[in-house]
Chains A and B, each alone.
Chain A
Amino acid sequence: MQLCDAGSTTSYVSRSMLKSTLALVILCLSYLTVGSQPGYAIPAFARKYGLPCSACHIGWPILNVFGQQFRDNGYQLGNEKDSPIYQNPSYWPITFRVTPQWHLESQTKVQIDDPSGLTPGTEQTVTTHGFDLSGLDIWTAGTLYKNISFSVLPSMGEGDTFHFENAWVRFDNLLNSPWLNVKVGKFELDTLLSEKRFLTLSGVGGGWFNYHFLPVGDSNGFGGIGDNQIGLEISGHNKNSYARYSIALLSSVDGNPGLTTTNAGTANPGTARTYDTFINLNEGFQVGGLGVQRVGVFGYFGQNPTYYLSSGGVPVEGKGNRSFSRVGAYGWWYLKDLDIETLYMHGQDNVYLGNGIAVNDPAGLPPGAAGPTWNGGFIEAHYTYNPQLIFTGRYELVHMSRQANPTLAALPSLGNVDSFTIGYRWYPIMFSRAGLAFHNEYSQAKTGNTSILTQGDQTIRSVMIGFDFDY
């Protein structure tokens, strides 16, 4: 009975999801067709062309209108400057980025062990601080040939193993049209509001909660749309990149190479066999002298195994795949020097994923179990006083609308996140070959009912003062 309920819920959700997605796609396609701005050809850009950073960035790393266009065009200008004869033969397109910093991390209501082991312990605030380093990014990108672009970004933290943050090749302007580009490899999902190009870096504020949220107790191995994924992306845009689309077919491995799927926190190489889909559509329009306003919608529809077949005790194939989705809409609003990013996102996981139960063990589901759903969003503002000084502020929340386990309904705000971040970046140096930002940030988030002993709200805070540089 429980299985039937769960199954019907899943199929209903799938059907409604399909309908809403279809409607969304039709709506957006019509919007793209009717509302497209007239395009015009602009000479594209890259630092290797001898252009200043300001050609593409409002302030590093936020892209301006031309920067978005250049990126969409496969890091190509589209004029004679793309020709190798204009390039300095000694030019080596590589950038290192690291952030030496002092930071403070604090969390309230942390369970502290009783040394005697006789009691569960106590709760208290834990604060740590000191000088530190961020991970190191070694990024190279450019063109292999006309209309074949690439990016490789090996990244590592202190003591970590090396990993590819991204590595892809892209075939641009197929059929001589900007509307058809194909990218293969590991890449950032085509989210116009990009976590890779935003201004906050601290432990709490260094990511959008919405892009990585999972309910408490959820076993979904998907790390969120903020994680880079492995797969194939078809994308396109009009000439000024105001109207854009992308559709990606992705391995259900959360960007981990080795056909690795993750369930209940356990990563198992060589077990993947399903695919996810990500769709993004956005449109820009000029509003007087305010700037180019952009709006868009996105949807991620994926699957994740709930258990594995094993051979000799080693998982060999993910099984019992169940669905999940993240859908949302966003806007990027410009009021001259003030730009405001807004996002709304709705997420849902299948009941088995939400409760961390294998499909072949339906009896494990608690009575009244349901697929968890939640809603979230943020508003983030940047004020560019000048290209050397940018202030930023953000308010973000994620609130559960349905808990996976009805017994948890007594804790209605379990897993909820309310967060804000403020900071500024000052760029004493921003040249075509090197940039240095003095970064100051304070970020705070309250997570609902997550303390272990008292089920109270926990508050986490970060203070960060650092020098973010690349060269």
Chain B
Amino acid sequence: MGMFALKWAQGRLARAWSSDAKNRCIWIACLLVLFLSIGSFCRTRDTGAASFSIDLDKPFNEVLAIVDEVARSGSIKGTFEYRGDEQLGGAQFAEKSSLFSAWTEPGKVFYKIRTKALSPSHFLNSNDVGTVAVRYVVQERGPNSTRLFIDAVFIENARHHGHPSDGYVETCEFGEIGKLLKEREQLQKLAASGQPLSPGQESTSLSQERQEEIKAEAQKNAKPASSSPKTPKTKDAKPKGASPSELPKVAEVDSAKLADLQRAIAEQKSLLAADHAALDRLEAQRRQMRASEFVRVKSDRAELKVLPYSHARAVEALKKGQEVTVLAKSAHWYQVRSEDGQEGWISHTLLEVQP
């Protein structure tokens, strides 16, 4: 049967070739070339959409400063040229880049660019020499809420092909930002508590200047807390109309009243602080509720991974139908929290949005 089909095909081809259909073949070849050309051009680079986004419970300026620091760090995390390397060095900070379509939404945009990158890893179908670009967009969402977008793309020099990241670059870049945010938070806490900074704590990856800035800012913020409750100036509290002999008694009575008042003020302040904290928590929960997306596992076998990587270690096996909360998104992976509080990454192909 197979041989018959083969002979039939051979015969057809031979007849087609021997007839005037040769011209037709050439036309078909031309059309094929045209079709493939159109196909080539239709495969445009998709660099316009953000591939990683996350809402942070941090003030806009604080996130902006850290992102600026990371954008100027000189290396791109999560990608490399040579096996054994962990990052791509030689990157430059930029305020503009033609490798991404213009960002039209609100927010401050930074770029980190590495030219002459040789087939960098973690970019889909990476090939030849080109430029790696990372874009950071910082958006102010509220007084204590900031949204961060990160995209990474590799564009070939010759064919200008765009190769989007598989998500790992954005994740690692955010990891760096998150690390610096935590370091800054720790510095602020230490400054607020008045404890001296240990050498280990001082040796963060932030530059010395940035550390000084952060320390100064943290101490400035901490001053009102350390000096409160404010004690009134006693010489201004001198009562009028009392005789010199009565003055000590009056002073004793006044100081007792003053102490009571100070205690009352301190109690009220602590209650107010507790209320503020509760309010902040509620606000954070409200934002989390608004930002969260509840999805469901649709696959029979789905693993929650430590990192957004197929080969990354699994932290939990999820069951079909299990509900999870989306914490962050990259191009192909969602960071989620499972019902039992376990956090990790899962491929978006294994999830479905709840009806």
Contact = CB atoms under 8 A, between A and B. Distances in A.
Interface of A: 40, 42-43, 45, 49-52, 54-55, 58, 64-67, 81, 104, 106, 108, 286, 288-292, 334-338, 340, 381, 383, 386-387, 391, 393, 395, 418, 420, 432, 444, 446, 459, 461, 463
A291 B159 contact: yes
B1 interface: no
A261 to B, nearest CB: 38
Nearest to A77: B118
B13 A444 contact: yes
A110 to B, nearest CB: 15
Closest 9 CB pairs of A and B: A50-B83, A289-B160, A336-B40, A55-B119, A291-B159, A337-B40, A64-B128, A54-B127, A50-B82
A335 B81 contact: no
Contacts of A45: 118
A64 B81 contact: no
**Most chain A CB within a 10 A radius of its CB, from B6, B17, B36, B37:** B36
B26 interface: yes
A43 B43 contact: no
Contacts of B33: 338, 340, 381
Nearest to A442: B13
Interface of B: 6, 10, 13-14, 17, 22, 25-26, 29, 32-33, 36-37, 39-41, 43, 81-84, 116, 118-119, 121, 125-129, 157-161
**Most chain A CB within a 10 A radius of its CB, from B121, B126, B127:** B127
B235 to A, nearest CB: 73
Contact of B82 (A81, A446, A459): A81
Q: How would you classify the secondary structure of chain B's contact residues: helix, strand, loop or mixed?
A: mixed
B43 A54 contact: no
**Most chain A CB within a 10 A radius of its CB, from B17, B119, B121, B128:** B128
B116 A54 contact: no
Given A54-B125, A383-B36, 15 more contacts: A43-B118, A51-B118, A51-B119, A55-B118, A58-B127, A66-B129, A81-B82, A335-B37, A336-B40, A336-B43, A337-B159, A381-B33, A383-B40, A418-B22, A446-B17
B119 A54 contact: yes
A40 B119 contact: no
A432 B83 contact: yes
A382 to B, nearest CB: 10
Given A54-B125, A65-B128, A334-B159, A393 B32 contact: yes
A254 B240 CA distance: 122
A132 B118 CA distance: 38
Contacts of A108: 14
Contacts of B10: 106, 461
Contacts of A65: 128-129, 157-158
A412 B230 CA distance: 112
A432 B81 CA distance: 13
A342 to B, nearest CB: 12
Nearest to A44: B118
Nearest to A47: B83
A391 B39 CA distance: 13
Contact of B126 (A54, A286, A444): A54
17 contacts: A40-B116, A43-B116, A45-B118, A50-B84, A52-B121, A54-B127, A54-B128, A55-B127, A58-B127, A64-B128, A65-B129, A81-B82, A288-B160, A291-B159, A337-B36, A338-B37, A338-B39
A50 B83 CA distance: 5
A104 B5 CA distance: 14
Nearest to B162: A289
B14 A459 contact: yes
B327 to A, nearest CB: 32
A395 B82 contact: no
Contacts of B37: 335-336, 338
B119 A52 contact: yes
Contacts, number: 106
A108 B14 CA distance: 10
Contacts of A391: 36
A420 B17 CA distance: 10
A67 B127 CA distance: 10
A155 B352 CA distance: 55
**Most chain B CB within a 10 A radius of its CB, from A66, A335, A463:** A66
Nearest to B123: A54
A108 B10 CA distance: 11
Nearest to A391: B36
A106 B158 CA distance: 42
Contact of B158 (A43, A104, A334, A393): A334
A65 B81 CA distance: 17
Contacts of B40: 335-338, 383
A420 B28 CA distance: 13
A461 B82 CA distance: 44
B267 to A, nearest CB: 66
Nearest to B161: A336
Nearest to A381: B33
B158 A42 contact: no
A344 B241 CA distance: 118
Contact of A286 (B22, B116, B158): B158
A130 to B, nearest CB: 13
A371 B317 CA distance: 78
A55 B84 CA distance: 16
B17 A459 contact: yes
Contacts of B32: 381, 393
A292 B129 contact: no
Given A51-B119, A340-B33, A461-B10, A42 B160 contact: no
B36 A64 contact: no
A389 to B, nearest CB: 11
B48 to A, nearest CB: 16
Contacts of B121: 52
Nearest to B40: A336
A395 B128 CA distance: 28
A354 B127 CA distance: 47
Contacts of B159: 289-291, 334, 336-337
A444 B25 CA distance: 14
Contacts of B118: 42-43, 45, 51, 55, 66
A65 B159 CA distance: 10
B158 A291 contact: yes
A108 B7 CA distance: 13
Contacts of B6: 104, 463
A42 B25 contact: no
A51 B83 CA distance: 6
B158 A292 contact: yes
Contacts of B128: 54-55, 58, 64-67
A337 B13 contact: no
Nearest to A385: B39
Contacts of A338: 33, 36-37, 39-40
A252 B14 CA distance: 40
A67 B129 CA distance: 10
B129 A336 contact: no
A51 B81 CA distance: 6
Contacts of A49: 82
Given A52-B121, A334-B159, A43 B127 contact: no
Contact of A393 (B13, B29, B126, B160): B29
A356 to B, nearest CB: 31
